[in-house]
Amino acid sequence: MFKRSALPVLTVLGVILALWYAACVPMNSAWTAQQLARSGATMTVTETVGAAWSQDRPRLPAPHQVAVELWDTVVMKKITSKRSLVYHGWITLSATLLGFAIGTSLGILLAVGIVHSRAMDMSVMPWAIVSQTIPIIAIAPMIIVVLYSIGVQGMIPKAIISAYLSFFPVVVGMAKGLRSPDAMQLDLLRTYYASDAQGFWKLRLPASMPYLFASLKIAVAASLVGAIVGELPTGAVRGLGARLLAGSYYGQTVQIWSALFAAAILAACLVAIIGLIEKVALRRMGMRQ
Amino acid sequence: MIYVVFAVLLWVSGWMLNVRLANGPHAQSRSIQLLVPAIFGLTILLIWELIVRGLSVPLVILPPPSMIAGRFAGSLPILWQDFVQTFVKGALSGYVIGCAAAFILAIVVDRFDFLRRGLLPVGNFMAALPIVGTAPILVMWFGFDWQSKAAVVVVMVFFPVLVNTVAGLRDTSDMQRDLMRTYGASYSQTLMKLRLPAAMPFIFNGLKIATTLALVGAIVAEFFGSPTRGMGFRISTSVGQLALDMVWAEIVVAALAGSFFYGAIALFERGVTFWHPSQRK
Amino acid sequence: MVSNLVISAQNLDLTFQTNDGPVHALKDVSLKIGKGEFVSFIGPSGCGKTTFLRCIAGLEQPTGGQISVNGMTPEEARKARAYGYVFQAAGLYPWRTIGGNIKLPLEIMGFSKAEQAARVARVMELVDLSGFEKKFPWQLSGGMQQRASIARALAFDADILLMDEPFGALDEIVRDHLNEQLLALWARTGKTIGFVTHSIPEAVYLSTKIVVMSPRPGRITDVIESTLPKERPLDIRESKEFIEIAHRVRDGLRAGHQDDV
């Protein structure tokens, strides 16, 4: 499968890269034109293009500028330095992981409760589904500030937002998974006079694994977004969201783009790790996708 | 203190009532299905009110629902203005542009297999990223007003709708496509008569996901810069002033907007995909 | 007889390349089908009967030999809308009414609205589904859906009807009923029919010619010209002649199974 898509994917990425470089020229040249008008000099086409690709604060940074900045702040700085993207990435990541862990554990527990108690199912499930249509992320600033005022700051408030965002996808997905065995399977267990608990451990839980992993991927991406957004309201100085904010305040566009790419790479890695765990787990259970 | 005791009693009795209703003889009826979560929600609201008053929780931490309702009623003009700015101008316009663009690209991608094999993995990848992070860049390019928020929404809804539409267009069975071949049908005839109708359930799945993303994108984008209007703006400034009842009032607006937007698309879906097993219980 | 030849296959070969080596779906298949014949193809899985039908329809490309339909290549015959195809599953669009489903090929082939309405009414009457035009497929039983699928294949008046195990998913009684109706239809319209089936009684009951095939490689083991009269009530299945022909088919199938269990 990889061989089939390798060439098309590379082609598409190549085209995107080419379009990006091309777009830099019109986007950045306005500033160059201004400078030229002031000094009265002129530039050749090649010089204009070259200038468009190497500005200090470009409207659209060129790919190599972003790559250089990434290399600079990830590899060339010490991890403990305040300029290191690894440092900032870790700040955001720690909140993400903590929130993800809390959110998914609570989500799984609630899902188990929903599947086994009709009262819980009928009262909570509609709200869980409705909550997916509500932009919960709007609550983020409030949570940060409220907890700040009672002395809780730093990682915990961000983790709470992350937990909140990962909670509901896991509840809905896990409930769907626990309910996925068909009537025939459930009847078979009844002929063995199996208890609810036995049915849970032997049938429902294994059957829910594919659904669980699908919602874990959504949940981890949502957790990351929650942690980043959590860094915005109080003007935090540490974390990827803080770097985004600082970059936008001071007009440091290359910094913004590199922070964004770092966040993107982090998200991709997290989803990929869960995908890997999924593959191993499902293979051991004989449920190869 | 008595409030707290009352709250506990209310929780217990509400729960017991729900257990009775859920396990009772009429549990399958539509009215009970609506009543149980309604009782649950109402119980939560009442307990909230009682606990906040009973324990004298400071208003800067958690205002009681009655106060929020009062603030809501008293600030309707501001709330309406914010709603129009964020939802109508920002989220809705971005939603329409983003979904239309994704739809058109999906059809182009479907036509050319090479493009599909290259773009779909990239699209799946992009759909999982924190697109919200593009907000500062788009604010820089499009300015503070609603256009940058619409731009964020376009980027956020684009990939999920693209991925879902492409998946839907491919969902026809070999047999159906063979049948079209036996009629000597052209590509566009096959597209209009078979693949687009068959893709509708997938397309609407993407459109529903996109409604939530649109509202989230518009609100969060306002955290990065906004004129003195908009739900995100109001939330962040009210938070700064510790006027939490206003924050909650805005959240209520966001919740209503989100639910109605989703509900409208779901209603539209029911009309278009009336034939799908999931729609005909 | 030559001008009456509708389908003519000579030394047809179809080989797939798979990971486990080449698969000879069809090897050296030669057959002549004349106008108005009802030809059944019967054999175990993998014998190539469906593949051969698809070759006639131009849905598969043979790797060797020749095949012509109405004097043209299958591709050209398909463009000329020379045949109607009925699949194993009804495959009706759930978002169209029965009438809308039957109109599908008519819309694609460019018939006028008035023509479409007239043809729909006519073929629905042919398969005994009049009155169900406005219903949706899920409101009909399996047998009725399959009848609608046949009506759809008849709507544009192709001379040839190709049917791939159309009644396989239905129960015995419905199947008997549909077999009778199919024969009546054939008598009324005089079409040339190619019919793939798993069932020996069905093959013998319906056909004027029975082609017995066997797998690995896919080939024709026997071609039986049926001596049964054209008028066939259902109880002809108990007659001596019928049983003899059925025996011959069974022997042909057994011969093809020699290399298996």
ipTM of the complex: 0.76
pLDDT average, residue stretch A236-249: 83
Is there a single domain that holds both residue B265 and residue B163? yes
Same-domain pairing of A114 and A10:
no
Q: Which of A19, A121, A123, A158 to mutate to test the interface with B (most CBs of B within 10 A)?
A: A123
CA separation (Å) from A183 to A179, A187, A189? 10, 6, 10
Q: Which of B18, B121, B261 sits opposite A119 (nearest CB)?
A: B18
Shortest Cα–Cα distance, B70 to chain A (Å)? 19
pLDDT-derived band at A93, boundaries 50, 70, 90: very high
Domain boundary residue among B25, B57, B89?
B57
Instruction: For chain A, give the mean pLDDT.
Output: 84
Inspect the interface and report whether the beta carbons of A126 and B37 lie closer than 8 Å.
yes
Are both A129 and A193 inside the same structural domain?
yes
Give the per-residue pLDDT at C260. Answer: 57
In this model, does residue B149 exceed pLDDT 60?
yes
For chain B, the straight-line distance linking the first and the last C-alpha, in angstroms and rounded, comes to 49
Asked if residue A146 belongs to a domain, the reply is: yes
What is the spatial distance between Cα B142 and Cα B94, in angstroms, rounded to a whole number? 13
Asked if A151 is an interface residue toward chain B (Cβ–Cβ < 8 A), one would say: no
B121 and B258, same domain (yes or no): yes
C186 and C154 Cβ atoms separated by less than 8 Å: no
pLDDT for B3 = 82
Q: Is the pLDDT confidence value at A195 over 80?
A: yes
pLDDT of A103 strictly over 90: yes
Whole-number Å distance between alpha carbons of B216 and B203: 20
Give residue A115's domain range. Answer: 85-284
* Chain C environment of B185 (Cβ under 8 Å): 108
8 Å CB contact between A146 and B244: yes
- Is B232 contained in some domain? yes
Q: What is the pLDDT of residues C135-171, one digit of tens each?
A: 999 999 988 999 999 999 999 888 899 999 999 888 8
Distance CA C114, CA A77 (A): 78
Chain segment A2-28, per-residue pLDDT in tens? 566 788 888 888 888 888 888 888 888
CATH topology of domain C2-82+159-256: Rossmann fold (3.40.50)
**Given this model, what pLDDT does residue A288 score?**
60
> Are A191 and A279 in a shared domain?
yes
Closest of B171, B162, B150, B55 to residue B116, by C-alpha: B162
Same structural domain, B214 and B239: yes
Q: Are residues B10 and B89 in the same domain?
A: no
Q: Are C149 and C164 in contact (CB under 8 A)?
A: no
| Domain definitions of chain C by residue range | 2-82+159-256, 95-157
Written as six digits, the tokens of B206 are 């993407």
C104 to B193: CB separation less than 8 angstroms, yes or no:
yes
pLDDT, residue C2, reads: 46
Q: Under an 8 A CB cutoff, do A146 and B37 touch?
A: no
Kindly state whether residues B8 and B97 are assigned to the same domain.
no
Nearest C-alpha in B relative to C74? B182
A221 contacts B129 by C-beta, under 8 angstroms? yes
- Indicate contact of C with B: 3+ CB pairs under 8 A: yes
Whether residues C109 and B197 touch (CB distance < 8 A) is answered with: no
Q: Characterize C230-247 residue by residue with b for buried, 16 or more Cβ atoms within 10 angstroms of its Cβ, and e for exposed.
A: eebeeeebeeeebeebbe
Residue A145 shares a structural domain with residue A199: yes
Cα–Cα distance list, B64 to A139, B59, B60 (Å) = 16, 8, 11
Q: Give B179-189 pLDDT, tens digit per residue.
A: 999 998 899 99
CA distance C163 to chain B (A): 12
Count of C-beta atoms within a 10 Å radius of residue A105 = 13
Please give the residue of chain A at the shortest CA–CA distance from B264. Answer: A133
Q: In this predicted structure, what is the pLDDT of residue C259?
A: 59
Report pLDDT for C3. 54
C-alpha to C-alpha distances, A276 to A20, A271, A285, B27, nearest whole angstrom: 32, 9, 14, 42
Percent of chain B with pLDDT over 90: 20
CA distance B57 to B64: 9
| Domains held by chain A: number | 2
- C partners (3+ CB pairs within 8 A) are B
Domain check: are A47 and A97 in the same one?
no
Q: Is residue B65 part of a domain?
A: no
Do residue A232 and residue B224 have CB atoms under 8 angstroms apart? yes
Q: What is residue A179's three-state secondary structure? A: coil
Contacts of A225 in chain B (CB under 8 A): 130, 132
Taking an 8 Å cut-off on Cβ atoms, the answer to whether B37 and A4 are in contact is no
If you average pLDDT over residues C187-202, what whole number do you get?
A: 92
Q: Which one of A199-203, B243-247, C55-59 scores highest in mean pLDDT?
A: C55-59
| B32 interaction partners in chain A (CB closer than 8 Å) | 122
B23: nearest CA partner in chain A? A118
Same domain, B143 and B246: yes
pLDDT band per the 50, 70, 90 thresholds, residue B276: confident
User: How many distinct structural domains can be found in chain B?
Assistant: 2
- CA distances in angstroms from C61 to A113, C25, C83, listed in the order given: 57, 12, 17
Neighbours of A3 (CB within 10 A): 6
Task: Judge if B14 and B138 occupy the same domain.
Answer: no
Whether B80 is in a domain gets the answer yes
Instruction: Spell out a b/e string for C147-179, using b for 16 or more CB atoms within 10 Å of the CB, else e.
Output: bbbbbbbbbbebbbbbbbbbbeebeeebbbbbb
Query: Which of chain C's residues have a Cβ under 8 Å away from the Cβ of B183?
Result: 81, 104-105, 108-109
CB contact under 8 Å between B21 and A122, yes or no, is yes
Please list every residue in chain B whose beta carbon sits closer than 8 Å to the beta carbon of residue A133: 211-212, 258-259, 261-263
Supply A198's token pair.
């036995």
Chain A environment of B108 (Cβ under 8 Å): none
List, in order, residues 6 or more apart from A200 with CB less than 8 Å away. Answer: A112, A116, A178
Phi and psi for C160 in degrees, rounded to 5? -115, 140
Name the more confident of C173 and A59. C173
Under an 8 Å CB criterion, which residues of B touch C?
173, 175-176, 178-185, 189, 193-194, 197-198, 200, 273-276, 280
Classify residue B132: in a domain, yes or no.
yes
The reply to whether B112 and B152 lie within a common domain is yes
Query: For residue B71, what pLDDT is reported?
Result: 87
Greater model confidence, B193 or A29: B193
| A269 belongs to a structural domain | yes
Least confident of A179-183, C7-11, C225-229: A179-183
* Residue B213: closest C-alpha in chain A: A135
Q: Which chains touch B (3 or more CB pairs under 8 A)?
A: A, C
Confidence of residue C1 (pLDDT cuts 50, 70, 90): very low
Average pLDDT on B10-32 reads 83
**What DSSP assignment string belongs to C230-251?**
S---GGGGGSHHHHHHHHHHHH
Q: Are residues B25 and B151 in the same domain?
A: no
Provide CB contacts within 8 A for B76, sequence distance 6+: none
- Is A187 within the bounds of a domain? yes
β-pairing, C209-214 vs C160-164, is unpaired
Residue B116 lies in a domain: yes
Residue A15 in any domain: the answer is yes
- Sorted by sequence, the CB contacts under 8 Å of residue A280 that are 6+ apart come out as none
CA distance B69 to B253: 11
**Shared-domain flag, residues A147 and A14:** no
Please check whether residues A16 and A157 belong to one and the same domain: no
The verdict on A145 and A257 lying in the same domain is: yes
Instruction: Summarize pLDDT for A105-147 with one digit per residue, the tens.
Output: 999 999 999 998 888 888 888 888 777 777 777 788 788 877 8
Smallest CA–CA distance from A216 into chain B, residue: B128
Pair B134, B35 in one domain? no
8 Å CB contact between C42 and C210? yes
pLDDT digits (tens, 9 = 90+) for C46-55: 888 999 999 9
Q: Where in the sequence is the domain holding B142, given as residue range(s)?
A: 72-279
Q: Quick one: B90 and B137 in the same domain?
A: yes
Residue B49 maps to a domain = yes
Q: Distance from B176 to chain C by nearest Cα, in Å? A: 7
Average pLDDT over all residues of chain C: 89
Assigned domain for B121 exists? yes
**Does residue A11 lie within any of the structural domains?**
yes
Q: Cα separation of B217 and A225, whole Å?
A: 11
Do C57 and C78 contact (CB within 8 A), yes or no? yes
